[in-house]
Structure 1
């Protein structure tokens, strides 16, 4: 079977507005009301070959870099987040094996996954949440070989459906950083009565998803269930999270596509006070700002996905940034689109079968997956000293950065073995902002408005890193440190926008969104405005950029994303 492409996947899935299409808004709404898992839709994704893209090419799959995988997940998420979350969980569950498993273990898992076996990831526990160091599930050596697994994993996606579960367990009762190991547990090989699946939890969003748990009662697992070295489980999880957190942004981008599609279609067709709603200046500005937000999120997600292969030593920074930044910004985008839809944003049986209210509910959980915003910002705060130092030094991995920001080139292959727990080089993307602004100024004919926005970004980066350097280390991050983490996210996203613009050549005679730096101006404007309420009025003069963006999109006949996938095509 040839590799699946975005275009092929979109055609195969059909028109989601057609209720007779299996993967339609109507069918997803019906499943949501029944709180039923979308088995038939996931089976169709299996038939189309999507699971092959969860498996690295060296083990018989189609996965090389994260960019292509994210684009495919975005298509599915643009239809329905429950389906995307339920199906893509198999990649998250298997990724630790790609990171640290033996070749034999990886090939065996790959064959099962490609055949459609769901895979789950058992990390969290009822009493400890995301505190992995407090894991209580225990794996004790058995006298005859293998281990005995005892304890409970809870709030686990696909815990019941999953044929295999990658479980983090304590192997050293004394505790410490080397106290935990990973095991790939095959339910089919467990003794009867030694495990039980916990009841599905009813949830506000993703109602049909299998959010449940699994409990082990001395379940014996073989030696070959161990993933990587004993005692390296936490380290393997932290490395793997750098990949899964980055890919999770595709869920948010798909949700943003869906929200904008509905908002533009509704305002274009709704007549109020003798005019179409889309003709109202406030509506147009709101839609322009929402599209600018999506462009900024696309830029930072694209660069982060490519950085996993191009700048693996820095991915601990990139993954924490995008997993915090993108879901938060898309939550706000969805809320703005909901304001335009008015009451229809809350109805369950009208307007595209109530898919907007489902979308709004479903997306709230994306920010929690694989570490919530507080977890990711805390991980970023812990790296502030090296980020400040490397920025002051101007340290940049020029070759890696060039590959990360050039979407016209082949996506760099991801090698999990090159990921570092903490970036020793800081962030080449952010640390090169001063030189990138200088390069922009050297481009003949660069629009003065873009130069002004880039200059403001550089000034903000300078001020931020000055404060990072002066921040006193503390065992518990301060409220101000978390605010600085938010500002760093904005600088990182702004740097992604600036570098992608430069990689595209900045040609003023290019397509409409490239002309005069329009898409980059709008994306930088929305980033410089900030997300915090106390900073939201900081750059009110930039609103004209959002007006110009939407005017251009409307003139292009692209006032909203085409069905289910922009995949960054506007910024290429």
Structure 2
């Protein structure tokens, strides 16, 4: 199967139509007669395999074209669109989203970043023909031992000899191409180099036993052992010893898109909880008349909107602010797994014992609860991402444009704006001159203060609280710079990284409220959701007091129930699902 697309398919209308087609083909997750319904995904999960019918459907849809740049015949034009399309898959099965899609994309990104013309062409043809890829990234410090690499490539006549083990790769036995990063001692003591290899099959490449996981159980994770595997000169990706730089070019892309896709999985957890609450009688503690239940649903919806605002800024930032995208994507990779995991735990309190069900009407909740933490694993885990945020804080005494300048940030916050420049991989590793997201905050705060309507006062108060938090953060960063010890870091810097991530999320929410509403207004133009989102963020910061409006909670609860009845997604797009 070969898929070719053109510019017309990257417009916003075409994107909506493409997502609608995928949703329609996947069908209603709750329909017992749907061969791609919840019961079938749960049964496949129990067998620890991906659902074959779902894989065939994605083959027919040409999902791999989403991972191939438009100039090479694919559909990849905007990273925010890539995440939106994959949410439809993650909404059904995170293992399918990772095993079929994200694993190939993680490898292909490296080829797009620094592969030569022939490597890019071959990789595009492989993916558009339905092939699969996997990538063995180098592990940053602090690392993740579960995914630890021990690969070494030494020079030999005509290329390199690869030895060592990669302990865990998704789809290792099924891939047609591998991207591996290996230590190349001749290029430097700590030098790594990237290589593009055929899939395993040679006599000197052994598959290691499968590793079982508690989540994403349909993913077949195995290790590879290389014993003197020869790599020709045409397998070198970029320059020898340039693997670290190449990985750094890939991380902003993968850190921003992966967690954004995972919002589809969290969407299912919320949707399942709403169904559970609706099924209970008025006197039940789990019913919609229960204050605890209502609060849990509203908080979960608010958290999803916060996460999507931050994801939007990070994915669009790769295009618009490439020199700042390393920090933006690290914030997403650091904050979203924490927020979504806490969100699912709070929802589990509503479901009670049903949160442990592995089949039946509410079995998808347990699956989402197991899968979400596993999506946070990877070569750029939360600890490594927090390290990037700390670097950013140490580079700039004030983590925001020091001169307080404000530019035109509108395109950064518009969910449906398709006017984005192409990604420039070389700029993704350049030093950022400032912090445009936080520099956008003063103008957004002024807009919030000038808002009109029932929830305008609450929005203005919450925006002022966020501005206060930013001022306090800058003061603390300045004191940290003055008292920074000669060696090591103060433990306080880790708390500052947490606060920075939350303030960045708040700035993203305000920016989306200020710039993101479409011509028909809708939820994004309503001050209620923004006031609730900022109150939730400021509450997590716990430095200034702001009260979420009670009427705002009722307003959002009505939106939660309307979207459930209309089968629309719980993100910024309110996408019709399963139709």
Same fold (TM over 0.5): yes
Partner in structure 2 of residue 339 of structure 1:
349
Residue 359 of structure 1 is matched in structure 2 by 368
| Structure 1 position 481 matched with structure 2 position 487 | no
- Measure the CA separation in 2 of the matches of 1:421 and 1:396: 23
| Cα distance in structure 2, aligned partners of 1:538 and 1:463 | 10
SS at match of 1:419: helix
Which residue of structure 1 lines up, in the alignment, with residue 562 of structure 2?
557
> Distance between the aligned counterparts of 1:307 and 1:53, measured in 2?
19
What is the CA–CA distance in structure 2 between the aligned matches of 1:561 and 1:124, rounded to whole Å? 44
- How many Å separate the matches in 2 of 1:299 and 1:364? 20
Contact 1:303–1:496 (Cα < 8 Å) also in 2 = yes
Look up the match of 1:374. 383
Please say if 1:313 is aligned against 2:319. Answer: no
Write the mapping of 1:326-475 to structure 2, written as runs, cut at 5 A. Answer: 326-352=336-362, 354-389=363-398, 391=400, 393-394=402-403, 398-399=407-408, 401-421=409-429, 423-442=431-450, 447-472=456-481, 473=484
> Among 278, 291, 294, which residue is 1:284 paired with?
294
State the secondary structure of the residue aligned to 1:22: coil
TM-score, normalising length from structure 1? 0.90
> What is the aligned residue count?
557
Greater Cα shift, 371-380 or 274-283: 274-283
Q: How many Å separate the matches in 2 of 1:257 and 1:512?
A: 17
C-alpha deviations, 1:239-263, integer Å up to 9, x for none? 1011001001223311221011011
**Residues 36-435 of structure 1: pairs in structure 2 closer than 5 A:** 36-87=49-100, 88-123=102-137, 129-130=143-144, 136-143=150-157, 145-173=158-186, 175-176=188-189, 179-187=191-199, 192-271=202-281, 273=283, 277-352=287-362, 354-389=363-398, 391=400, 393-394=402-403, 398-399=407-408, 401-421=409-429, 423-435=431-443
Q: Which residue of 1 aligns with 2:12?
A: none
Offset at 1:185?
Answer: 0.9
**Residues of 2 paired with 1:127 and 1:525: CA distance?**
34
1:497 maps to 509
- With the length of structure 2 as denominator, give the TM-score of the two structures: 0.89
After TM superposition, the structure 1 stretch with the greater mean CA deviation from structure 2, 470-479 or 249-258, is: 470-479
Deviation at 1:349, TM superposition (A): 2.7
Q: Which moved more, 1:87-96 or 1:364-373?
A: 364-373
> What SS is found at the alignment partner of 2:563?
coil
- CA separation in 2, counterparts of 1:411 and 1:341? 43
C-alpha distance 152-388 of structure 1, shift in aligned 2 (>3 A): same
Distance in 1 (CA, whole Å) between partners of 2:221 and 2:324 is: 32
Note the residue ranges of structure 2 that are not aligned, 5 or more in a row: 10-14
- Distance in 2 (CA, whole Å) between partners of 1:538 and 1:338 is 29
SS across alignment from 2:227: strand
Q: 1:137 to 1:541 in 2, by over 3 A?
A: same
- 8 Å CA contact retained: 1:521, 1:545: no
**Contact 1:137 1:150 (8 Å CA) reproduced:** yes
Distance in 2, Cα, partners of 1:505 & 1:85 = 31
Structure 2 Cα separation of the partners of residues 561 and 209 of structure 1: 32
* More off after superposition, 84-93 vs 122-131: 122-131
> SS at the partner of 1:299?
helix
Which secondary structure state, in structure 1, belongs to the residue aligned with residue 206 of structure 2? strand
Mean Cα deviation higher: 231-240 or 38-47: 38-47
Distance 2:359 2:416 in 1: 43
Partner of 1:514: 525
Distance (Å, rounded) in 2 between the aligned partners of 1:484 and 1:160: 43
Contact 2:166 2:224 in 1 (8 A): yes
Structure 1 residues not aligned, in runs of 5+: none
Contact 1:128 1:135 in 2 (8 A): no
Distance (whole Å) between structure 2 residues aligned to residue 40 and residue 95 of structure 1: 27
Distance 1:476 1:367, change over 3 A: farther
C-alpha separation between the residues in 1 aligned to 2:396 and 2:532?
27
Distance 2:417 2:570 in 1: 18
- Give the aligned partner of residue 547 of structure 2: 541
The alpha-carbon deviation at position 344 of structure 1 amounts to 0.7
Do the aligned partners of 1:302 and 1:568 also contact (CA within 8 Å) in 2?
A: no
Residue 216 of structure 2 aligns to a residue whose secondary structure is coil
| Contact 1:160-1:213 within 8 A present in 2 as well | no
- Give how far 1:292 is off: 0.9
Distance 1:543 1:287, change over 3 A: farther
Q: CA RMSD in A?
A: 2.9
- Which stretch of the first structure deviates more once superposed, 335-344 or 542-551? 542-551
2-structure distance, mates of 1:403, 1:421: 22
User: 2:304·2:571 contact (CA, 8 Å) conserved in 1?
Assistant: no
Cα offset for 1:35? 1.4
**1:28 and 1:136 mapped to 2: Cα distance?**
35
Q: CA deviation at 1:34?
A: 1.3
Q: Deviations over 1:51-78 (max 9, x none)?
A: 0010111111110110110001111111
- After superposition, the C-alpha distances for 1:365-421 in whole angstroms (9 at most, x for unaligned) are 12222422211111110111334346262365724x332122342152442424333
Quick one: distance in 2 between partners of 1:466 and 1:335?
34
Deviation of 1:506 after TM superposition, in Å, equals 11
